[in-house]
Amino acid sequence: MEKEEKEVINGVIRLIMNKCNIAEEDLAILIYDPGEKVLKFLYPPNLVDAGTIPVNSPDSLAARVFNSGKSFLSNNFQDVRHLSFFTKFTRDKRPLLKLMAVPIFKGGKPIGVIEVSSREPSRNFTEEELLSLEQIGELIGEKFGVDI
C-alpha cells in the first residue's frame, strides 16, 4: 500500500471512530481477496496476521454481510450466530454486545466489510450511525479496489 493510500485509510479510521464514538479495537475493516476467496483484515493491525475469513463461512457475520450486500445492525449481538475466534486477539475480553456491519462496494460488487462493535451494555447503535457507516463504506469503495 502506498503512503497516500495509508494516509487515506488512517483518515477513514479516524472518521469512523469519531462518527461512531468507538475505540480502536472496536473497528474492523476486511477486504476481499478474490484469489483465496477470503476476507482479510486491513484493520486493526493486531488482526492483520491473525487469520482470514472464508467468504463461504456460514458462521461469519462479515461473510454474510459480504455475500448478501446488506448492512447489519444489532444491539443484542450476543444472540446472533458469529465467529468469536478473533476476540481472543483483543485487549478487552468482554463479549461483543452491539455490532454494525456494512459492505464496501466497488463497481456494484462487494470488495469488503466494515464492522463496528461495542462491549458496553448501555451503548446502542442507531440507524443514523449505520447510514453514516454505509456512506463511509461507499467512499472507501470509490477510492480503492481489491488491490488495497
Question: CA 103, CA 110: separation in Å to the nearest integer?
Answer: 6
Question: CA 106, CA 114: separation in Å to the nearest integer?
Answer: 14
CA 67 from centre of chain: 14
pLDDT digits (tens, 9 = 90+) for 3-49: 777 787 888 889 899 888 888 888 999 999 999 999 999 988 888 88
Q: How confident is the model at residue 148, as a pLDDT? A: 42
Q: How confident is the model at residue 62, as a pLDDT? A: 93
Give me the mean pLDDT over the 127-136 stretch: 94
Where in the chain are the domains? Answer: 3-143
CATH 3.30.450.40 fits 3-143, yes or no: yes
**SS3 assignment for the chain:** CCHHHHHHHHHHHHHHHHHHCCCHHHEEEEEEECCCCEEEEEECHHHHCCCEEECCCCCCHHHHHHHHCCCEEECCHHHCCCCCHHHHHCCCCCCCCEEEEEEEEECCEEEEEEEEEECCCCCCCCHHHHHHHHHHHHHHHHHCCCCC
Q: Is residue 42 within 8 Å of 30, Cβ to Cβ?
A: yes
Q: How confident is the model at residue 144, as a pLDDT? A: 67
Q: How confident is the model at residue 87, as a pLDDT? A: 55
pLDDT digits (tens, 9 = 90+) for 57-114: 988 899 999 999 999 999 987 776 554 544 555 666 677 788 999 999 998 899 999 9
Q: How confident is the model at residue 90, as a pLDDT? A: 60
Q: How confident is the model at residue 64, as a pLDDT? A: 93
Q: Does the pTM of the predicted model rise above 0.85?
A: yes
